[in-house]
Amino acid sequence: MGDTHWRELRREPIHSAFGRGTDRVTFAMPDGREEVYHLGNEYSCAAVVALTPDRRIVLTRQFRPGPRALLYELPGGVIDPGESPGDAAARELAEETGYRGKVEHVTAVWHDACSNGVRHACVATDCTPTARIAHDRNEFIEVVLMDLAEFRDTVLRRGLLSDVGPAYLGLDHLGLL
């Protein structure tokens, strides 16, 4: 059964802030009923698994208001209009961490099943600290370098990373799982 059996009837924006919003959307279902969904209306973003020449992962660590916790994250952020996912990943890597490397786009995945947001998984190799860090006004970021084994065993597998999907996709692409 494809999406041709679902028909959008109405869409009403409920809330929007920081490039994210929620819409109340009414669909006609395949059996004729109407159902209301609250769907994320979100920006596209990029996240990058950044690897130094000595095979350490470049991460950020910062407080996140959703889970109300300090989380490790892959460097990344919003893709600006006209920017490619790889260019956005390279820009965000430099702005958030001061590192630059050879960036490659791996693939794109949905934020989740109730959102139109797309997250692009990228990798960067041979990353070195050559850029000036330029955090946004609401970013209080700690840059963390972590060896690959610790990243896989301590951070990734224990749920201490917010970007698990792009991390696995990047590590798989690099042959490091």
Residue 94: CATH number of its domain = 3.90.79.10
Q: Are both 110 and 152 inside the same structural domain?
A: yes
Enclosing domain of residue 129: 45-173
- Beta 118-129 vs 45-51: how paired, if at all? parallel
Phi, psi of 39, rounded to the nearest 5 degrees: -115, 140
Q: Are both 96 and 31 inside the same structural domain?
A: no
Instruction: State which residues of the chain have pLDDT below 50.
Output: 1
Q: Are both 110 and 161 inside the same structural domain?
A: yes
Helix (H) or strand (E) holding 125: strand 118-129
**pLDDT tens for each residue of 60-111:** 999 988 889 999 999 999 999 999 999 999 999 999 999 999 999 999 999 8
CA distances to 5, 17, 107, 141, 157 from 61, in Å = 43, 23, 24, 6, 16
Q: Are both 8 and 84 inside the same structural domain?
A: no
pLDDT at 87: 98
User: What is the number of residues in the chain?
Assistant: 177
Q: Are both 37 and 49 inside the same structural domain?
A: no
Q: Are both 17 and 98 inside the same structural domain?
A: no
Q: Are both 127 and 159 inside the same structural domain?
A: yes
* Total domains present in the chain: 2
pLDDT at 15: 87
Q: Are both 150 and 128 inside the same structural domain?
A: yes
Q: Are both 162 and 130 inside the same structural domain?
A: yes
Q: Are both 55 and 127 inside the same structural domain?
A: yes
